[in-house]
Structure 1
Amino acid sequence: MTPAARVQTAIELLDEIQAGAPAEKVLTGWARRSRFAGSKDRAAIRDHVFDVLRQKNSAAQLGGGQSGRALMIGLLRLQGIDLETVFTGANYAPAALNDAETDAARVNPNRPSAIDLPDWIVPPMQAALGDEFGETARLLAQRAPVCLRVNLQKTGVSSAVSALADEGISARASALSPTALIVEEGARSVAGSGAYRDGWVELQDAASQSAMDLLPLEPDMRVLDYCAGGGGKTLAMAGRVKARYFAHDANAARLSDLPERAARAGVDVKIVTQQQLRSQTFDLVLCDVPCSGSGTWRRTPGAKWRFSPDDLAELIEVQAEILDKVAMLVRPGGNLVYATCSVLQSENEEQIAQFLQAQNDWRIVNQKRWPVQADGDGFFCAILQKITKFEAF
């Protein structure tokens, strides 16, 4: 495909997304239907679509509308690309610009000042972030870094960096965590690398790794990852300390890849059902609860435009229910860890405050918020400890 044909395809896919279809579903469906497209074509089109979704308000302002065509015009203007070389109408390229589209550039000749977030989310984000809001909004409009976690059970950081370099993948250490690497070149080769296949590295955000570094893990503890998802945080904990690890998720399908990933990492993880958890207690229970994902919206930019106030209200209720449920799974003196990849106070500090107000046998050990930054996503973690009967008196 020519670069112009890729732009035309992105325009068509953006029209589907603007009509309400999830971006990932649209891109996956197109890739399956378009066997003629090579890996570079698919990657370029995906980049176009996701870049638009990260900067949709700005692209609409510079492109003069919300259609796929207007958004791509706006994006290419943001990127400083000469539109006349793309919009030619030849060989599957998009049609030439009309007078109105050309005039849009004259009306808005500079980079717009639009905030690339839904209007309704701006006030609660500003309240939560204060002076950090502007920088957060700016970073959420950019591409996210590709982060790796070094599995210290199998190798060291310098050895992992060297092994990746041997396969053309350039990575540097991140200050956020002793195990975090930021991939600077060759990101699309990571999944096929020997370092990945041999369990030396796993994909995991650097802020998430930093949160796992805080957890009071000790050898032989019974540790439950309650909202385990794909099991990334389970593996991160197991990479730090050899203990007895258990993983659970309300959607068991999310755990389907965990046995293979755990085997590759050289760790033992037991997947447990809700029924199996009855009458059990653990030394530490981690619940990385369902949340807005507002700290990760540069990775899933389509999500921020579909997210609504009703969605947030529903999530806050679910988070409170999970906290109440998992509290019963922690032994006296044990720890409950609450985590989100949200930057909103209603999902973070306020949720913990309400839990502690309702439960008099818990105390807070540590609480930290990671802002969205160059090396890592926005993240929140609170470590609570269940007070023993002896301490209560």
Structure 2
Amino acid sequence: MTPGARVQAAIEVLDAMAGGLAAEQALTRWARGARYAGSKDRAAVRDHVFSVLRTRRSCAALGGGETGRALMLGHLRVEGGDPEAMFTGEGHAPAPLTAEDRAAGRAPTPEEARDLPDWLWQRFEAGLGAQAAADAAEALRHRAPVCLRHNPRMMSISQVIDMLLKDGVSTIPVAEMDGALHVTEGARRVAQSTAFREGHVELQDASSQAAMAALPVPEGARVLDFCAGGGGKVLALAARHEATWFAHDAAPDRMRDLPARAARAGVKVTQLDQGAVTEAAPFDVVLCDVPCSGSGTWRRTPEAKWALTPERLHALCDTQRNILEHVQALLRPGGLLAYSTCSVLAEENEAQVAGFEAAYPGWTREDTRRWPISDIGDGFYLATLRKR
């Protein structure tokens, strides 16, 4: 595919999204109908689409509209490219620019340039402060880093770095974060690399790794990951030392890959349904990485920042509160409750912990930490509370 044809494909995907399809659905549908597209073509189209989604308000302003054509025109202007070179009508490229296209668009306002819904900007600023909110909004306009977690149960991190390099994946250790590797080249080759297939590394954001490393999990403890999802966090904990590991999720299908991942990593994680969780209690540590807005990860799922509504956020906060109320009974006296989100919003973080402390005075907060959206990690929040 020519560069222009890739732009036209992105336009078609964006228009399909306007018709109600999610980004992944629209991309999959396009790829199925474009058998001629190679892996580099598919990756380029995906990059165009996700870049637009990260900067949608800016693109709409600069392109003069919300259609796929206008958004891609705005995207090229955001990137400083030459739209005339892409909109040629040749080789499946978009039709040439019209006089209306050339005249359309304007510089985004300061509010539009944040590339956040206005109602969310108010919450960012309230929860983070003006400068940190501006930094977070700007970070969300750009591609997320790719980080790996080294499994120390197998070989040294230097050996793993060499192993990855042989498969075309370049990495550097993340400063002051043992076991974290920042992928600098070859990110799309990670899943096919020998190091990944043999369990020497797992894909995991550096902030998430840092949060799990900060949890004081004693050796031999009974540990439950209550909102396990794919199991990345319980596997990160299990890589540290020996304990008895359990995983639960309200949607068990999310854990379908966990047995294979645990086997690859050389650890045992017992999956529990709701009834089995109660029977297996009490636990020494319960981790609640609760469902949240994901606002700290919107570089990876940028359509989510446009889909979130105040009503949906309120519902998520209700779910978080209900989970905390439920799991507090699963811990033994002296046990540790870890509450975490990949959100930067105060109502999902500090407000939830403060509400829990008010409702359950028999708990003592031991630690509260935030990791900002950065060039090595997503936004992340962790609070730990001890049952007296």
What does residue range 1-393 of structure 1 map to in structure 2 within 5 Å?
Answer: 1-104=1-104, 107-108=106-107, 114-130=113-129, 131-175=131-175, 177-279=177-279, 280-387=281-388
Instruction: Specify the SS of the correspondent of 2:219.
Output: coil
Distance 1:290 1:13 in 2: 28
Distance 1:350 1:366 in 2: 15
Measure how far apart 1:109 and its partner are: 10
The letter of the residue matching 2:96 is A
Distance 1:111 1:103 in 2: 21
Q: Return 84-93 or 374-383, whichever deviates more.
A: 84-93
Distance 1:253 1:96 in 2: 47
Match for residue 390 of structure 1?
Answer: none
The letter of the residue matching 2:120 is I
Measure how far apart 1:164 and its partner are: 1.0
The letter of the residue matching 1:8 is Q
TM-score by length of 1: 0.95
CA-atom RMSD, angstroms? 1.6
Distance 1:254 1:176 in 2: 31
Distance 1:286 1:344 in 2: 20
Instruction: Specify the SS of the correspondent of 1:27.
Output: helix
Measure how far apart 1:108 and its partner are: 3.7
Residue deviations 1:88-144, cap 9 Å, x none? 111211001111211236x44999961111121110111111121111111100000
Aligned residues with identical type, % of pairs:
53
Distance 1:125 1:61 in 2: 22
Q: Contact between 1:58 and 1:112, CA under 8 Å: does it hold in 2?
A: no
Residue deviations 1:211-239, cap 9 Å, x none? 00111112211110000000000110011
Provide structure 1 residue ranges, at least 5 long, that are not aligned to the other structure.
Answer: 388-393
> How many aligned positions are there?
386
TM-score by length of 2: 0.97
Distance 1:263 1:269 in 2: 9
The letter of the residue matching 2:315 is E
Residue deviations 1:289-311, cap 9 Å, x none? 00000000001001111111000
Q: Give runs of ≥4 in structure 1 deviating > 3 Å.
A: 107-113
Residue deviations 1:159-181, cap 9 Å, x none? 22121112221111112521111
The letter of the residue matching 2:168 is G
Q: Return 200-209 or 125-134, whichever deviates more.
A: 125-134
Distance 2:73 2:110 in 1: 13
Distance 1:281 1:129 in 2: 36
Measure how far apart 1:35 and its partner are: 2.5
The letter of the residue matching 1:328 is A
Q: Contact between 2:207 and 2:377, CA under 8 Å: does it hold in 1?
A: yes
The letter of the residue matching 1:352 is V
Residue deviations 1:60-112, cap 9 Å, x none? 1111111110000011111121111110111211001111211236x449999
Distance 1:239 1:30 in 2: 40
Q: Return 324-333 or 176-185, whichever deviates more.
A: 176-185
Residue deviations 1:330-380, cap 9 Å, x none? 111010100000000000000000000000111101110111111000000
Measure how far apart 1:26 and its partner are: 1.3
The letter of the residue matching 2:382 is C
* Inter-CA distance 76–111: structure 2 relative to 1 (3 Å threshold): farther
